[in-house]
């Protein structure tokens, strides 16, 4: 392979400039580079610790020679003449602190003196520029610290996707199970190219790539079911908003007032068991103005939820009274006998006794459950809209030439099987409170599958397919993802049965923005169901903004 990465090596040193033979770091750097066939040292120079001289050389190497990489050695310390960072920084269009930190982290592991380096790095045009300290030992250590990532970094700085380099570093491009041309069955792989991934690693791989969806404002109704609140909700209205009766009966002036009168004024109480005129009526209904006023010796007829007359301190239920006198036409009660003694406050809902103004009723992160309580609370305090995390939508696509709709009403032909995966997974999704799209069945043909996956990805946040992920010649999903959709398959097999060929991939979003997530679950119904619960539901929960998105785990011991 012809060496393709062109490098410039620049020694920055007053001494080296005066006596080129004294420069050992530059030659050492060249040897390190040339030990790797991918690099060619295209140019070398030595300049004094002089800002202008350094800038002139590096600018020419980046702008005129368009080198892939410029490595300098020297001038990064605390010495009064050291000015490499001051010279290089203004030339950089983008800094690359990660590279500098990596070098620094590795170097301080070796010697604390590395803390005295002020080395910098960055990109000018398409050239990666990295400054090393002056000592040959530091040059070697620094170069080794970044050797592994250097080709990748250069590829990216040149506008590459990094994919090629990545594949090379992983030992070459992944051989594909298909052959997007399923006719060439003899060419298929006889071993899976996907390593068996331990479950904890697979789970972490998925969760690392799931970021909660942004939040939106929604009206207070059943559309909130399953949503995660993205704000604290504070009551702006009290519940109840007025003093209300808990019972159907009579508002009275109760014991507290009577005792008060008796003690302070040596009164015998007027109210309590006895006969009273019914001077007012309060039916639970809206009314303008304030409540009627009740004086000692009077009672008011009241219904459950009715506003208490001013001055009333208790309510006696109708069962504990008897009618003494009514109006002639029977439409009014005039005198009623109270038979029971009631305590002050009895059968009264005080204003705000349930929820007070300013009280936090629901907290950010809380889930609006399908039980209804949260929605009820929001409704009771008059909140019109709340900020919640967007609800994710999951799409379900079954795959397989043998798979038919379960409800097609036709007898099965030999080799056909009813699609049980989609109804199963849709039911589980619904029960978990997420939205779904039913994407039907795709045939095992590269064209059909590619179109169905592409279309499906557009309609949902997470695409779930079942079938076609193992080793058969009709198992086309993985190669289609990688070869046609530019997807990255993060794992293609897991250390679990059922579910071994479970596949997780991220697919670039053609509309830009975040990559789309997709799970290729195995076709076997139990495998599909188990892996859905284990991987997809937690991913959906995380996407929906749940704080606790993982299943609880318990320690088990096999005896």
Ligand X SMILES: Nc1nc2c(c(=O)[nH]1)N[C@H]1C(S)=C(S)[C@@H](COP(=O)(O)OP(=O)(O)OC[C@H]3O[C@@H](n4cnc5c(N)ncnc54)[C@H](O)[C@@H]3O)O[C@H]1N2
Asked if 419 is part of the footprint of ligand X (rule: CB under 6 A), the reply reads yes
Asked if 133 is part of the footprint of ligand X (rule: CB under 6 A), the reply reads no
Which of the residues 420 through 449 are near ligand X (CB under 6 A)? 420-421
Name which of 240 and 525 has its Cβ closer to ligand X. 525
* 498 CA to centre of own chain: 27
Q: In which element (H, E) is residue 185 found?
A: none
Asked if 189 is part of the footprint of ligand X (rule: CB under 6 A), the reply reads no
Contacts of 423 (CB under 8 A, 6+ apart): 406
Shortest distance in whole angstroms from residue 194 CB to ligand MOO: 13
Shortest distance in whole angstroms from residue 501 CB to ligand MOO: 7
Asked if 471 is part of the footprint of ligand MOO (rule: CB under 6 A), the reply reads no
Which residue number has the CB closest to ligand X?
523
Name which of 25 and 502 has its Cβ closer to ligand MOO. 502
Residues 147 and 163: their CA atoms lie apart, in Å, by 17
Contacts of 155 (CB under 8 A, 6+ apart): 162, 164, 165
Contacts of 117 (CB under 8 A, 6+ apart): 76, 77, 104, 107, 133, 138
Q: Terminus-to-terminus CA distance in the chain, angstroms? A: 57
* Number of neighbours of residue 281 by Cβ within 10 angstroms: 15
Asked if 523 is part of the footprint of ligand X (rule: CB under 6 A), the reply reads yes
Stretch that binds ligand X, among 70-78, 108-116, 299-307, 460-468 (CB under 6 A): 460-468
Q: What letter does residue 115 receive in the DSSP assignment?
A: G
Which of the residues 389 through 408 are near Mg ion (CB under 5 A)? none
Classify 141 as helix, strand or coil: helix
Name which of 278 and 521 has its Cβ closer to ligand X. 521
Among 148, 163, 385, 497, binds ligand MOO (CB under 6 A): 497
Q: Which residue has the tokens 């399923």?
A: 182
Number of residues that bind ligand X (CB under 6 A): 25
Among 8, 74, 520, 522, binds ligand MOO (CB under 6 A): 522
Asked if 527 is part of the footprint of ligand MOO (rule: CB under 6 A), the reply reads yes
Q: What letter does residue 308 receive in the DSSP assignment?
A: P
- Confirm if 336 and 299 have CB atoms less than 8 A apart: yes
Residues 330 and 310: their CA atoms lie apart, in Å, by 27
Stretch that binds ligand MOO, among 114-122, 302-310, 436-444, 519-527 (CB under 6 A): 519-527
Shortest distance in whole angstroms from residue 467 CB to Mg ion: 7
Stretch that binds ligand MOO, among 32-40, 166-174, 442-450, 491-499 (CB under 6 A): 491-499
Choose among 428, 468, 470, 466: nearest CA to 445.
Answer: 468
Among 499, 520, 538, 545, binds ligand MOO (CB under 6 A): 499
Which alpha helices (H) appear in 411-508, and where do they start and end?
421-431, 446-459, 477-479
- Confirm if 484 and 505 have CB atoms less than 8 A apart: no
Q: Which residue has the tokens 């301190």?
A: 313
Asked if 470 is part of the footprint of Mg ion (rule: CB under 5 A), the reply reads yes
- Confirm if 3 and 40 have CB atoms less than 8 A apart: yes
- Confirm if 193 and 493 have CB atoms less than 8 A apart: no
> Quick one: how many helices (H) and strands (E) in the chain?
16, 28
Asked if 475 is part of the footprint of Mg ion (rule: CB under 5 A), the reply reads yes
Binding to ligand X by CB under 6 A, coded x per residue (else -) over 463-502, reads ---xxxxxxx--x---------------------xx-xx-
Shortest distance in whole angstroms from residue 436 CB to ligand MOO: 22
Stretch that binds Mg ion, among 207-215, 277-285, 450-458, 462-470 (CB under 5 A): 462-470
Choose among 485, 520, 450, 454: nearest CA to 194.
Answer: 520
Residues 91 and 87: their CA atoms lie apart, in Å, by 7
Asked if 455 is part of the footprint of Mg ion (rule: CB under 5 A), the reply reads no
- Confirm if 506 and 487 have CB atoms less than 8 A apart: yes
Q: What is the largest CA-CA distance in the chain?
A: 128
Percentages helix, strand, coil for the chain (3-state, rounded to 5) are: 30, 25, 45
Shortest distance in whole angstroms from residue 435 CB to ligand X: 21
Stretch that binds ligand X, among 119-127, 163-171, 379-387, 417-425 (CB under 6 A): 417-425
Stretch that binds Mg ion, among 95-103, 216-224, 419-427, 470-478 (CB under 5 A): 470-478
402 interacts with, out of Mg ion, ligand MOO, ligand X, none, CB within 5 to 8 A per kind: ligand X
Among 311, 365, 433, 472, binds Mg ion (CB under 5 A): 472
* Number of neighbours of residue 273 by Cβ within 10 angstroms: 13
Among 398, 429, 529, 531, binds ligand X (CB under 6 A): 398
Name which of 115 and 189 has its Cβ closer to ligand X. 189
Choose among 465, 462, 466, 467: nearest CA to 394.
Answer: 462
Name which of 162 and 498 has its Cβ closer to ligand MOO. 498
Among 26, 446, 479, 522, binds ligand X (CB under 6 A): 522
Whether the upstream peptide bond of residue 97 has omega within 30° of 0, thus cis, is: no
In degrees and rounded to multiples of 5, residue 42 shows phi and psi of: -80, -35
Asked if 500 is part of the footprint of ligand MOO (rule: CB under 6 A), the reply reads yes
Asked if 193 is part of the footprint of ligand X (rule: CB under 6 A), the reply reads no
Shortest distance in whole angstroms from residue 203 CB to ligand MOO: 17
Q: In which element (H, E) is residue 47 found?
A: strand 39-47
Shortest distance in whole angstroms from residue 455 CB to Mg ion: 22
Stretch that binds ligand MOO, among 35-43, 297-305, 330-338, 492-500 (CB under 6 A): 492-500
Residues lying near ligand X in the complex (CB under 6 A) are found at: 398, 400, 402-403, 417, 419-421, 466-472, 475, 497-498, 500-501, 522-525, 527
Residues lying near ligand MOO in the complex (CB under 6 A) are found at: 497-500, 522, 524, 527
């Amino acid at each position: 392979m012809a060496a393709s990465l062109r490098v410039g090596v620049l020694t920055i040193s007053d001494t080296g400039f005066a006596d080129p033979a004294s420069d050992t770091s530059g030659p050492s750097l060249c040897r390190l580079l040339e030990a790797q066939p991918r690099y060619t040292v295209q140019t070398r120079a030595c300049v004094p610790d002089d800002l202008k001289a350094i800038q002139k050389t590096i600018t020419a190497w980046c702008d005129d020679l368009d080198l892939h990489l410029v490595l300098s050695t020297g001038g990064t310390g605390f010495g009064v003449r050291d000015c490499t960072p001051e010279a290089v920084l203004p030339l950089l269009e983008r800094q690359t602190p990660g590279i500098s930190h990596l070098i620094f982290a590795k170097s301080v592991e070796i010697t604390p003196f590395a803390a005295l380096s002020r080395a910098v790095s960055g990109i000018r045009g398409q050239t990666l520029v990295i400054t090393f300290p002056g000592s040959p030992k530091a040059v070697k250590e620094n170069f080794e610290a970044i050797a592994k990532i250097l080709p990748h970094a250069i590829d990216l700085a040149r506008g590459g996707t990094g994919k090629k380099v990545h594949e090379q570093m992983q030992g070459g491009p992944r051989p594909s199970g298909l052959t997007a041309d399923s006719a060439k069955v003899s060419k298929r792989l006889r071993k899976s190219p996907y390593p068996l991934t331990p479950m904890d690693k697979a789970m972490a791989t998925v969760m690392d790539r799931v970021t909660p969806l942004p939040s939106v404002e929604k009206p207070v109704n059943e559309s909130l079911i399953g949503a995660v609140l993205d704000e604290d909700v504070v009551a702006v209205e009290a519940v109840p908003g007025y003093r209300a009766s808990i019972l159907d009966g009579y508002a009275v002036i109760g014991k507290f007032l009577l005792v008060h009168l008796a003690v302070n004024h040596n009164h015998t109480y007027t109210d309590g068991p006895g006969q009273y005129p019914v001077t007012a009526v309060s039916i639970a209904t809206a009314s303008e103005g304030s409540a009627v006023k009740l004086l000692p010796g009077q009672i008011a007829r009241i219904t459950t939820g009715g506003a208490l007359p001013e001055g009333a301190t208790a309510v006696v239920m109708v069962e504990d009274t008897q009618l003494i006198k009514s109006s002639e036409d029977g439409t009014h009660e005039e005198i009623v006998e109270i038979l029971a003694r009631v305590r002050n406050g009895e059968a009264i809902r005080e204003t705000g006794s349930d929820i007070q103004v300013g009280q936090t009723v629901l907290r950010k992160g809380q889930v609006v459950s399908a039980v209804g309580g949260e929605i009820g609370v929001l409704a009771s305090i008059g909140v019109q809209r709340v900020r919640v995390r967007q609800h994710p939508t999951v799409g379900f696509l079954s795959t397989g030439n043998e798979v038919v709709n379960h409800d097609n009403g036709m007898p099965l032909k030999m080799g056909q099987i009813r699609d049980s995966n989609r109804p199963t997974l849709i039911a589980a999704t619904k029960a978990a409170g997420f939205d779904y799209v039913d994407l039907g069945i795709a045939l095992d043909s590269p064209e059909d599958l590619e179109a169905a996956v592409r279309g499906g990805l557009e309609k949902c946040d997470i695409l779930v397919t079942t079938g076609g992920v193992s080793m058969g010649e009709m198992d086309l999903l993985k190669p289609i993802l990688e070869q046609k959709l530019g997807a990255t398959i993060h794992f293609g097999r897991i250390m679990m049965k059922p579910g071994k060929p479970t596949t997780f991939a991220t697919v670039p979003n053609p509309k830009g923005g975040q990559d789309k997530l997709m799970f290729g679950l195995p076709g076997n119904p139990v495998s599909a169901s188990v892996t859905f619960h284990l991987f997809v539901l937690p991913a959906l929960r995380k996407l929906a903004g749940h704080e606790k998105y993982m299943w609880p785990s318990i320690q088990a011991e096999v005896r």
